């Protein structure tokens, strides 16, 4: 019997560009052409000024570890203990992720440490953006 | 809302709390409703406004045999009942209805007759949080806290102290689930759930419910119980995704809701004799004390450590024991309101002498929503 898998995202018309990006190993964000705000999650308008003139761009994939918990309870597709983190990207927005490539301990997971995106395929359609400490082996 | 224009004339919880496997969720709503109606000397026939969360207001109205002229099913999590009080006050003042029943009932532990908690895969939560292994509140609601602790130098011992002080209040309450005293060491030795949160820093999972009856002030003396006046109300929402909180050290919804309630009531923090802050986890009272303006940023941990919220302190907090020790069925806001009402009526197990003003503040979801009610036993 197959192991239970982690829940998968279902892209919508407004988020499709993001999930196409991760499948191509790109972390895509949106920037408002009118006020320059960079925002996430995806929307076809700027949540700061409501302008409809927004552009998708390829983000650097770099950020810092902003906060996290280390979950000790079982979850489908995960082996506890595992981190559930929020990364603050260099471009400004924050996103939820897991920190991989490092022990899942408070000592290894230091707030503000630099992290970089790695792409984890979870099936044909979806690749998830996870993060590892910058300089950690892949 | 004009302060003192609406009052609570009926209030009760379910007959039992804790483990109630022989009542379905809707029957918990009804049990609380009948207790509150009896408390007010009323029957369902007297009710023309219905508000509830967890069940639809259609379901509750039908079940109890009520034909309402006003309904509210606002469902933003555990603080929904604070929003129902606020909305009911506006409805009564506008003449949409005259006598409102607000019900809560939750088979949180026994799970009899309740639906599951689903996050559709195409929702923001389904796309941008669920794939990363969040498993309910213990691994979601807690994510901002390391940033808060780092920013203000709050220690795990201080986080544990929140739970210790609330257990002291629960020890005085015959209806509390857990009453044995605990120490900081007990809390830090309890099972790790989601670092830094250990089991005794997390809310209980129990069954129960509560209900309130509200009417216009003109009728306040027509009922058996001492009326409890609504002086001020507030509500707000921020985001359904904890990762998208603007500030991990503060809840924007708390600040907006609290400010509105205080402004409407025309009270200062010094006027508050009793405080309830929905404590799903040990960090909630810290954020609440700061965001409601009782203490400055980063000062809440010290305030609690210095026993200001304990018996004999200047600001008794969560005097029923809270979600951490009294009970917590999934949505707790109704129980905070119930304890505030008891304190205003003078009937609480751990009654604060001469308490005249109480604030009941609730959170909904993972810092997603907030509601704040200022109550008094003086019309103001």
pLDDT digits (tens, 9 = 90+) for B175-185: 999 999 999 99
Minimum mean pLDDT among A34-43, B114-123, B138-147, B153-162: which range?
Answer: B114-123
Is residue A136 scored above 90 in pLDDT?
no
Q: Is the pLDDT of residue A1 over 60?
A: no
CB spacing of B121 vs A8 below 8 angstroms? yes
Min distance A86 CA to chain B CA atoms (Å): 6
Residue of B nearest to A43 (CA): B124
Over range B276-302, report the average pLDDT: 98
Residue A138 has pLDDT above 70, yes or no: no
B119 touches A: beta carbon within 8 Å = yes
CB contact under 8 A, A73 and B139: yes
Residues in chain A closer than 8 A to B145 (CB atoms): 67, 69
Residue A7: closest CA among chain B residues belongs to which residue?
B131
pLDDT at res. B45: 98
Residue B251 is encoded by which pair of tokens? 């809840």
User: Which of A6, A85, A94 has the CB atom closest to B131's CB atom?
Assistant: A6
Cβ of B139 and A71 within 8 Å? Answer: yes
Q: Is the pLDDT of residue A32 over 80?
A: yes
> Does residue A91 belong to the interface with chain B, where contact is any CB pair within 8 Å?
no
Rg (CA), chain B: 19
pTM of the shown model: 0.96
d(CA B342, CA B365): 26
Q: For the segment B333-376, what is each residue's pLDDT rounded down to a tens digit?
A: 999 999 999 999 999 999 999 999 999 999 999 999 999 999 99
Which of B139, B147, B244 is closest, CB to CB, to A84? Answer: B139
| Per-residue pLDDT at B286 | 98
Structure tokens belonging to residue B142: 């807690």
Q: Is B366 on the interface with A (CB under 8 A)?
A: no
Res. B230 pLDDT band, cuts 50 70 90: very high
Count of Cβ atoms closer than 10 Å to residue A123 Cβ: 9
A23 touches chain B (CB under 8 A): no
């Amino acid at each position: 019997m197959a192991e239970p898998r982690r829940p998968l995202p279902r892209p919508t018309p407004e988020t499709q560009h993001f999930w196409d990006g991760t499948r191509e190993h790109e972390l895509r964000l949106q920037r408002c052409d009118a006020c320059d705000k960079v925002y996430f999650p995806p929307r076809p308008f700027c949540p700061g000024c409501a302008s409809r003139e927004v552009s998708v761009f390829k983000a650097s994939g770099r950020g810092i570890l902003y906060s996290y918990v280390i979950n000790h309870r079982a979850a489908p597709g995960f082996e506890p203990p595992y981190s559930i983190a929020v990364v603050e990207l260099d471009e400004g927005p924050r996103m939820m992720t897991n920190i991989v490539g490092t022990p899942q301990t408070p000592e290894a997971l230091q707030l503000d440490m630099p992290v970089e995106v790695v792409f984890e395929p979870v099936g044909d359609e979806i690749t998830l953006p996870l993060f590892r400490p910058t300089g950690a082996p892949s | 809302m004009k302060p003192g224009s609406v009052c609570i004339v009926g209030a009760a919880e379910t007959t039992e709390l804790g483990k109630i496997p022989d009542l379905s969720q809707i029957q918990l709503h009804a049990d609380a409703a009948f207790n509150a109606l009896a408390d007010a000397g009323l029957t369902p026939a007297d009710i023309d406004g219905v508000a509830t969360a967890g069940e639809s207001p259609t379901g509750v109205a039908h079940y109890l045999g009520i034909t309402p002229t006003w309904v509210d099913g606002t469902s933003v999590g555990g603080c929904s009942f604070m929003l129902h009080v606020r909305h009911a006050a506006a409805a009564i003042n506008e003449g949409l209805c005259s006598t409102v029943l607000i019900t809560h009932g939750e088979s949180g532990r026994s799970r009899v007759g309740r639906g599951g908690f689903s996050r559709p895969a195409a929702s923001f939560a389904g796309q941008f949080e669920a794939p990363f292994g969040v498993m309910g509140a213990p691994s979601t609601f807690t994510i901002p806290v390391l940033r808060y602790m780092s920013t203000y130098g709050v220690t795990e011992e201080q986080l544990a102290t929140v739970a210790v002080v609330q257990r002291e209040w629960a020890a005085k309450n015959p209806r509390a689930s857990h009453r044995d005293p605990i120490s900081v060491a007990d809390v830090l030795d309890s099972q790790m759930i989601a670092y830094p949160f250990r089991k005794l820093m997390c809310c209980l999972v129990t069954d129960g419910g509560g209900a309130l009856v509200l009417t216009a002030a003109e009728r306040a003396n027509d009922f058996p119980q001492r009326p409890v006046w609504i002086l001020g109300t507030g509500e707000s929402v921020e985001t359904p995704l904890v990762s998208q909180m603007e500030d991990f050290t503060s809840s924007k919804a708390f600040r907006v809701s609290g400010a509105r309630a205080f402004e409407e009531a025309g009270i200062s923090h010094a006027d508050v004799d009793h405080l309830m802050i929905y404590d799903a986890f040990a960090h909630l009272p810290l954020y609440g004390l700061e965001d409601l303006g009782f203490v400055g940023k980063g000062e809440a941990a010290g305030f609690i450590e210095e026993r200001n919220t304990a018996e004999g302190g200047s600001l008794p907090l969560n005097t029923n024991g809270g979600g951490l020790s009294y009970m917590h069925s999934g949505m707790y806001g109704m129980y905070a309101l119930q304890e505030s009402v008891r304190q205003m009526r003078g009937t609480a197990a751990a009654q604060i002498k001469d308490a005249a003003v109480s604030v009941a503040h609730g959170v909904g979801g993972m810092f997603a929503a907030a509601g704040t009610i200022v109550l008094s036993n003086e019309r103001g």
